[in-house]
């Protein structure tokens, strides 16, 4: 077992979360490769005039490069991309493991012109007979969406009762299992942030677990035991991930990969057998069916959405169709038929300009995606290409945290300097943000939207921007789950992440000041995601009032 070379993250327990090695992304859209005389194009969205893949819209596809990753929106990837500067432009090479409607791997070979404005490439699939091959060209897509919210429009009015809620060694023998467990037990004993173990008798946990192991446990039961031991600490943050779950989380941090589904990110609504849509992938079955962020999923094939254990009751097979019933806040129920298919592309970052203004909205739904720094940088550059902004609304209401190594560069677009100290059982360590101004981002008037769905490093980001005076916070108190997790990797690929650090912000607040209570907003506005739409968002309305007022 070894300690992860990147050993800190903040995230919601059980949702997203695993730090791998820090991913170095290019610092700008045009960057220089080491040893290369010509610049390389580091990012860009290139729209084609014709469809590239089976099932694509007649209007064409979008190929997006984001630092070390490339994807075809809604169809392929993300995949690793190799870039090389040449006299003709940036040569781009990638291999997608899967693409919608094409069997086997799909190779992409192309060139972005020296100005980074156009992309010419070829897609080929080796397993098709006759050989499948598409050559295409794409132009840089610099369009900026317009927000659905109209200044002065009526906003949603949530019910009053809402305020009352707030090298592989497999442990498959008793001897190996005992070694794994004792290593985990000792990590908690020496590294856990709370020396009293939240009142848990840690010696008794050791005796009980060893008795179960010596009596004989299957591999699955052993992993369940480790998960229960860590969950029993009661901090709602620490967790154990078996090998397959750990691998999936590492992939998610790396930018994700193509998956089978209908193309949504959704979160269960606490206390209800329903889920709210956080984002919709473009060119997906969900988008075609008219689903949008904030919609509430209320039925699958006329029955419940989740089973008794909290698992989704949607079919799992690719190609399976089912009826999905959803309600739009303020509207009635709608039932649509959707088909599970391969979904490619990056998780959407909703952004737009508010009509009649130079005020922009940007949602950052996670800090658990290493492609975000480059993608947020590109969005800010595009928003300010014509002229600077008069204000920016940064939406963190569904940001459940993630990696400090993802979050800090994004914070660096808006603030800089010492933000506080990380405090653990070894001592105190400064946490600093390095500034990078993108189109005036360091000085643009800023409002942060936050609430109960803002968790972990999402909360720290909110608090840092508030304490530094860079932003006014609008919404509700954040979740109050702000410990930092340190991670250790076992030889079988499983991982344990422990609440091992607290954050001591600059100023009068003590270490861990936001733990259990959250970051309080400057202006209180309902923030529950499933109670409004993009067109009647009370938080956005309040932000606009603050940014346009005297």
Sign of the C-alpha dihedral computed for residues 245, 246, 249 and 250 taken in this order: negative
Higher pLDDT, 124 or 25: 124
Looking at residue 159, its pLDDT comes to: 66
Those residues with Cβ within 8 angstroms of residue 275's Cβ, 6 or more apart along the chain or in another chain:
266, 267, 268, 269, 296, 297, 305, 306
- Mean pLDDT estimate for the chain: 88
In a domain, 277, yes or no: yes
Rg (CA), the chain: 24
Structural domain containing residue 274: 259-343
Taking the CA of residue 20 as centre, how many other CA atoms within 13 Å lie in the half-sphere pointing to its CB?
18
Q: Where among 293, 310, 343 does a domain terminate?
A: 343
In a domain, 527, yes or no: no
d(CA 181, CA 187): 10
In a domain, 37, yes or no: yes
Question: What DSSP assignment string belongs to 32-87?
Answer: E-TT-SSEEE-EEEEEESS--STT--TT--EEEEETTEEEETTTEEEEEEEEEEET
Rounded to two decimals, the pTM is: 0.86
Q: CA nearest 408: which of 351, 465, 323?
A: 465
Looking at residue 55, its pLDDT comes to: 86
For the cut 60, the answer to whether the pLDDT of residue 2 exceeds it is: no
Kindly report the number of other CB atoms within 10 A of residue 168's CB atom. 8
Report residue 60 as tokens. 């064409």
In a domain, 510, yes or no: no
> 531 near 156, Cβ under 8 Å?
yes
Three-class secondary structure of residue 243 per DSSP:
helix
In a domain, 179, yes or no: no
How many domains does the chain contain in total?
2
> 402 near 368, Cβ under 8 Å?
yes
d(CA 393, CA 151): 14
Domain of 272: which CATH number? 2.30.42.10
Sign of the C-alpha dihedral computed for residues 489, 494, 498 and 504 taken in this order: positive
Query: H helices within 295-401, ranges in order?
Result: 372-383
Most confident of 38-47, 128-137, 179-188: 179-188
Q: Render pLDDT for 330-378 as a digit per residue (tens, 0 to 9).
A: 888 999 999 999 999 999 999 999 999 999 999 999 999 999 999 999 9
Q: Where among 117, 140, 163 does a domain terminate?
A: 140
For the cut 80, the answer to whether the pLDDT of residue 20 exceeds it is: no
In a domain, 388, yes or no: no
Q: Where among 93, 120, 140 does a domain terminate?
A: 140
In a domain, 506, yes or no: no
In a domain, 20, yes or no: no
d(CA 295, CA 279): 10
Query: H helices within 386-523, ranges in order?
Result: 404-411, 457-467
Three-class secondary structure of residue 231 per DSSP:
helix
Give the pLDDT band of residue 14 (cuts 50, 70, 90).
Answer: very low
Burial of 351 (0-12, 13-18, 19+ CB in 10 A): buried
């Amino acid at each position: 077992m070894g300690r992860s070379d990147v050993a800190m993250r903040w995230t919601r327990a059980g949702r997203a979360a695993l730090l791998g090695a820090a991913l170095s992304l290019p610092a700008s859209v045009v960057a220089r490769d080491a040893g290369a005389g010509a610049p390389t194009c580091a990012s860009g969205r290139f729209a084609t005039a014709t469809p590239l893949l089976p099932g694509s819209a007649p209007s064409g596809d979008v190929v997006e490069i984001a630092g070390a990753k490339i994807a075809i929106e809604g169809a392929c990837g993300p995949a690793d991309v190799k870039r090389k500067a040449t006299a003709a432009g940036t040569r781009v090479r990638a291999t997608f493991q899967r693409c919608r409607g094409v069997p086997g791997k799909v190779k992409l070979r192309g060139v972005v012109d020296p100005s980074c404005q156009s992309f010419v490439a070829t897609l080929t699939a080796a397993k098709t007979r006759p050989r499948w091959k598409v050559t295409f060209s794409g132009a840089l897509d610099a369009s900026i969406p317009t927000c659905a919210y109209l200044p002065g429009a009526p906003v949603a009015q949530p019910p009053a009762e809402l305020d009352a809620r707030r090298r592989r060694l497999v442990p498959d023998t008793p001897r190996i299992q005992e070694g794994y467990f004792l290593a985990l037990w000792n990590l908690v004993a020496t590294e856990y942030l709370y020396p009293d173990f939240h009142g848990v008798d840690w010696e008794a946990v050791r005796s009980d677990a060893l008795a179960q192991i010596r009596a004989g446990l299957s591999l699955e039961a052993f992993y369940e035991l480790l998960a229960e031991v860590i969950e029993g600490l009661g901090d709602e943050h620490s967790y154990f991930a078996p090998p397959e779950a750990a691998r999936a989380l590492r992939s998610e941090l790396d930018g994700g990969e193509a998956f089978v589904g209908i193309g949504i990110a959704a979160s269960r609504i606490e206390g209800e057998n329903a889920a709210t849509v956080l984002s919709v992938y473009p060119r997906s079955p969900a988008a075609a069916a008219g689903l949008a962020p904030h919609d509430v999923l209320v039925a699958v094939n006329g029955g419940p959405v989740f089973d008794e254990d909290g698992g989704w009751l949607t079919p799992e097979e690719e190609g399976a169709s089912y009826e999905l019933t959803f309600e739009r806040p303020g509207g009635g129920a709608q039932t649509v038929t959707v088909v599970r298919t391969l979904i490619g592309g990056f998780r959407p970052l909703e952004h737009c300009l508010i009509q009649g203004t130079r005020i922009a909205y940007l949602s950052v739904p996670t800090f658990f995606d290493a492609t975000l720094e480059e993608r947020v940088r590109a969005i800010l550059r595009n928003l300010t290409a014509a002229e600077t902004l008069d204000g920016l609304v940064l939406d963190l209401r569904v940001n459940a945290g993630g990696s400090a190594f993802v979050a800090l560069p994004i914070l660096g677009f808006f603030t800089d300097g010492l933000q506080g100290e990380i405090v653990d059982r070894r001592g105190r360590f400064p946490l600093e943000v390095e500034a990078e101004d993108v189109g005036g981002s360091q000085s643009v008037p800023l409002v942060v939207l936050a609430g109960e769905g803002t968790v972990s490093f999402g909360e720290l980001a909110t608090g840092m921007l508030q304490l530094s005076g860079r932003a006014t916070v609008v919404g509700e108190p954040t979740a109050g789950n702000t410990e930092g997790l340190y991670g250790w990797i076992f030889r079988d690929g499983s991982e344990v992440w422990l609440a091992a650090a607290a954050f001591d912000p600059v100023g009068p607040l003590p270490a861990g000041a936001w733990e259990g209570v959250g970051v309080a907003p400057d202006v209180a506005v309902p923030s529950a995601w499933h109670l409004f739409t993009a067109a009647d968002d009370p938080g956005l309305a309040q932000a606009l009032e603050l940014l346009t007022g005297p």
